[in-house]
Amino acid sequence: MEKMWSPWRSKYIESFNKKDKDCGCVFCRAAIEDETLDSSLVVHRGKHSFIMLNLYPYNGGHLMIIPDRHLSDFKQVTQEEYTEMMEELQLTIKVFENLMNPQGFNVGMNLGKAAGAGIDQHIHLHVVPRWNGDTNFMPVIGEVKVISQDLLGMKKQLHNEFKIISEMNSKL
């Protein structure tokens, strides 16, 4: 198996160690911040979890579904939290289909540092929209991933679409 090195990821991962020392973890801070602020990457809130954009996405629209409770062990997730996260996953897929029309999705969790978790102290579920041909020569040859969407613009679009679909679902 060939390996593709991405040393720029270590700077990203290390940035959370510095932030975590002052007030818990980045996800716990996001869980309580005002999602209407431009600085917030939160696009939707449930009763027990929230959805936010990844600040360092692998692809445009890369979202994470995160339980409000600070958990590092997936076995500690309650049935209520698990059910809501799966419902939020379904909602996220609907939002992406309406807004971005992806041809597929990567969905998953990296549980623990050894599994590749950049933030291993607070579990989170990644949802990445994918399109045929979205991987080209830039990341393979140039070691550069081009993300063409502006995070703030993407946040506003996603936030609005989550609101519309959530309101439609609540009327059913």
Whether 124 is a known active-site residue: answer yes
Query: If you search the block for the tokens 């991962």, which residue do you land on?
Result: 13
Q: What is the DSSP letter of 75?
A: G
- The answer to whether position 26 is within a domain reads yes
- The answer to whether position 16 is within a domain reads yes
CATH number of the structural domain spanning residue 104: 3.30.428.10
Provide the β-strand partners of residue 63.
Answer: 53, 127
- The answer to whether position 3 is within a domain reads no
**Catalytic, out of 44, 62, 122, 124:** 124
pTM over 0.75? The answer is yes
At 21, is the pLDDT very low, low, confident or very high (cuts 50, 70, 90)? very low
At 20, is the pLDDT very low, low, confident or very high (cuts 50, 70, 90)? very low
Report the domain count for the chain.
Answer: 1
- The answer to whether position 15 is within a domain reads yes
- The answer to whether position 2 is within a domain reads no
> How confident is the model at residue 125, as a pLDDT?
96
Q: Which domain holds residue 27?
A: 8-171
> How confident is the model at residue 94, as a pLDDT?
96
- Which phi and psi angles does 67 have, rounded to 5°? -70, 145
- The answer to whether position 164 is within a domain reads yes
Average pLDDT over residues 67-74: 93
Average pLDDT over residues 7-24: 53
- The answer to whether position 1 is within a domain reads no
Which range is least confidently modeled, 12-16, 34-38, 147-151? 12-16
**Nearest-angstrom CA–CA distance, 145 and 150:** 14
